[in-house]
Amino acid sequence: MIPIQKRTVDLIKELIKHNSDFYTDHIFVTDYGKPLEPAHFRKQLKLYAKKAGITKSVYPHLFRHTAATMFLKNGGDMRHLQMILGHQDLRMIQRYTHLTTKGIAKNVEQYTPINRLPIR
């Protein structure tokens, strides 16, 4: 079981209400009320990225990768992330996360023992 944030629930409820004219069981639909196909979603995502000036390759799985990275950067527990992502092996988390130079420098500054020695 994965916990869903109240904000996510509220946004989904808003989307369902917005789509109520279509009489569909689907949450994600096109402007015509048809179920949103993965290929259409990918195409729209690339279009929005281009409009936003994003030159990096953008794809749906990038959301998962970014969320996992941000979860850890914000102090989330790696074991909890493993459960959220549904991985059996903790090493799989490394596929979705990466160390940043800024993050490494911050950790070195914060946790290196020499920085805690009293200056004489």
- Residue 103: which pLDDT band, with cuts at 50, 70 and 90? confident
pLDDT digits (tens, 9 = 90+) for 12-56: 999 999 999 898 899 999 989 999 999 999 999 999 999 999 999
Residue 29 burial (CB count, 10 A):
16
pTM of the model: 0.70
Q: Residue 102's pLDDT is what? A: 73
Q: What's the average model confidence in pLDDT over 64-72? A: 88
Backbone angles phi, psi at 29, to 5 degrees: -130, 165
End-to-end CA distance of the chain: 54
- At residue 99 the predicted structure's pLDDT band, cuts being 50, 70 and 90, is low
Helix axes 61-73, 78-85, angle to 10 degrees: 160
Would you list the DSSP string of the chain?
-----HHHHHHHHHHHHHTGGG--S-SSB-TTS-B--HHHHHHHHHHHHHHTT--S---THHHHHHHHHHHHHTT--HHHHHHHHT-SSGGGHHHH----HHHHHHHHHHH-GGGGSPP-
**Is residue 97 pLDDT above 90, yes or no?**
no
Which position has the token pair 């402007």? 31
Higher model confidence: residue 9 or residue 116? Answer: 9
Residue 34 makes CB contacts below 8 A (sequence gap 6+) with none
